[in-house]
Chains A and B, each alone.
Chain A
Amino acid sequence: SQQGEEDPQALSIQEGENATMNCSYKTSINNLQWYRQNSGRGLVHLILIRSNEREKHSGRLRVTLDTSKKSSSLLITASRAADTASYFCATEPAFGSEKLVFGKGTKLTVNP
């Protein structure tokens, strides 16, 4: 079963705007990772944030983590048409497993 829920399920914005996607999860985690998937392709790792971290940046990406609310957000600034993809959050459970538990994803469309 899938642990996470991304919100919104779909997001359409204009090039240059910022895109914010949210993720909620259910159990304690070691880390939370965000991946991007272009249509019909494999997943590309974007950023990892550990359970003891609150915010991380990588280029145009900013990720926050609130373990008390079991939620995370991914902000993409100054979006480009090439950012069009599905974005997934994935959590690694805190105890006894290295598997990743994915949400259903947010489908982002950036219009030129």
Chain B
Amino acid sequence: DTGVSQNPRHKITKRGQNVTFRCDPISEHNRLYWYRQTLGQGPEFLTYFQNEAQLEKSRLLSDRFSAERPKGSFSTLEIQRTEQGDSAMYLCASSAPRDRYRETQYFGPGTRLLVL
């Protein structure tokens, strides 16, 4: 169990550019979640996958955001035409196949995005 990994850890981009982040969940986990955290706030839910199916999306996820999990393993989060307001920490979490005793979400180290 190597934990949830995210790449890159830091990204600086200019407004209007596209960026893509990657998340590799814990190997046996079929659920994968994306959250966004701005300074001084708690994380806010963006979207989640069960295997390759995207089951829920937040209203925070505007049409400039897209997330995929093509083979039910790693996931990517793409932001198109970045805006300064997109500057935040993007966190990924994963959890095991669901039963009553395995609800815990395990978080990765995050990708910190700065849009200039």
Contact = CB atoms under 8 A, between A and B. Distances in A.
A33 B91 contact: no
A24 to B, nearest CB: 13
Interface string A21-42: 0000000001101010000111
Contacts of B25: none
A43 B103 contact: no
A contact residues, range: 20 to 34
Contact of B110 (A30, A35, A41, A104): A41
Contact of A42 (B44, B95, B107): B107
Interface of B: 4, 31, 33, 35, 40-45, 48, 55-56, 58, 89, 91, 93, 95, 98, 103-110, 112
Interface of A: 2, 4, 30-31, 33, 35, 40-45, 48, 88, 90, 92, 97-105
